[in-house]
Amino acid sequence: MTKLGKGLDALIPGSSEAGTQDSSAITELPINLIDTNPHQPRTDFDEVGISELAASIKKHGILQPLVITKEGDHYQLIAGERRLRAASKAGLSKVPVIIRDVEDHEKLEIAIIENVQRANLNPIEEANSYRKLMEEFSYTQEKVAETMGKSRSLVANKLRLLTLPAEMKRALKDETITEGHAKALLAIADEGKREVLFNEIISGNLNVRETEKVAGSIKKGKINKTKKEEPYKELASDLAEYLGTKVAIKSKSKGGKVEIDYYSAEELDRIYSKIKG
């Protein structure tokens, strides 16, 4: 197979920077014959974005074909899940496709490349994708880097993100903190002090530069106490018990905010009903 690091152009015959394609290689298939890629690294799809893409597809059609492979009497998607979802939402019965014969590890490679090139993966999804290549397909960090067209140090730094506690990974995934914040957190070896820094980022809305400054102070031992007692800790605890989820009350110089965690649409409905009731 053509080197995957060159991107999706390697999969589409006749494609070029000008966007021309060999139409003879493109065919149409019913949507109900195309199954999603089990190796898809992306776990979160923006439904608003899907709806906007569906509206565009209704008006202009699908401008770039999906890439699929034959699997028994069906076909499996390799690249283009957003387009497939949007096409279904737009009411299309068929979509333009290019059929390719690829191995399982190539399905994952191509799916990662498509998402990374379009900045569709959050840092945790990207890191999990690299780890999957290493654990399931015996890739080394060097091979991951070569395949993805990235430096080995970048791949190594992405993988380090997976060593963060679940709460911090969730904050990174939800964009409550950035990858720059996460790198500063990883610089703190002591878990308790790392938690102090994480709380400082959240409660103080620290930017990356401010976070790195606080991290430096912690490493030098200037900040070694646990976070001071929250004034509304008991109230937050009572609310958490009542709502059945994590609650944080964060004070500022004037006022503050109440944060209530939820982990699914169903849980949000339950919490809403609890508060409304």
Q: Is the pLDDT of residue 5 over 70?
A: no
| pLDDT exceeds 80 at position 42 | no
Q: Please say which residue of 68, 88, 121 terminates a domain.
A: 121
Q: Which domain holds residue 201?
A: 164-219
Q: What is the DSSP letter of 11?
A: G
142 flagged as catalytic: no
Confidence of residue 18 (pLDDT cuts 50, 70, 90): very low
- Among the listed residues 47, 52, 71, 81, the single catalytic one is 81
- The reported pLDDT for the residue numbered 2 is 39
With respect to residue 34, please indicate whether it lies within any of the assigned structural domains. Answer: yes
Q: What is the DSSP string of 191-218?
A: HHHHHHHHHHHHHHT--HHHHHHHHHHH
Q: Could you tell me if 20 and 102 lie in one domain?
A: yes
What is the rounded CA–CA span in Å between residue 144 and residue 147? Answer: 5
Residues 81 and 185 in one domain: no
Question: What's the domain count of the chain?
Answer: 3
Is the predicted pLDDT of residue 10 greater than 50, yes or no? Answer: no
* Other C-beta atoms lying within 10 Å of the C-beta of residue 84: 22
Q: Is 181 exposed, middle or buried (0-12, 13-18, 19+ CB in 10 A)?
A: buried
Residues 168 and 238 reside in one and the same domain: no
3 has a pLDDT exceeding 50: no
Are 214 and 238 members of one domain? no
pLDDT, position 121: 78
pLDDT at position 253: 57
State whether 212 and 253 are in the same domain.
Answer: no
* pLDDT tens column, 128-170: 889 888 888 888 999 888 888 889 999 999 999 999 999 999 9
Q: Give the integer Cα–Cα distance in Å for 77 and 97.
A: 9
Main-chain dihedrals φ then ψ at residue 35, nearest 5 degrees: -95, 150
Taking residue 107's Cβ as centre, other Cβ atoms within 10 Å add up to 21
| Residues 176, 78 share a domain | no
pLDDT of 110 higher than 70: yes
- Tell me, what amino acid is at 124? I
- The Cα 10–Cα 78 span in angstroms is 13
**34 shares its domain with 85:** yes
How does 183-220 read in b/e, with b if 16+ C-beta sit within 10 Å?
Answer: bbbbebeeeebbbbbbebbbbeebebeebbebbeebee
Per-residue pLDDT, averaged over 201-228, amounts to 78
Q: How confident is the model at residue 24 (pLDDT cuts 50, 70, 90)?
A: very low
User: According to the per-residue pLDDT averaged within each range, which of 99-103, 119-123, 207-211 is highest?
Assistant: 207-211
| pLDDT per position as a tens digit, 225-273 | 444 445 677 788 888 888 888 888 887 656 778 889 888 888 888 888 8
Query: Do 22 and 78 fall within a single domain?
Result: yes
Same-domain pairing of 245 and 200: no
Confidence of residue 203 (pLDDT cuts 50, 70, 90): confident
Report whether pLDDT(106) > 60: yes
**Helices 265-276 and 233-243: angle between axes, nearest 10 degrees:** 110
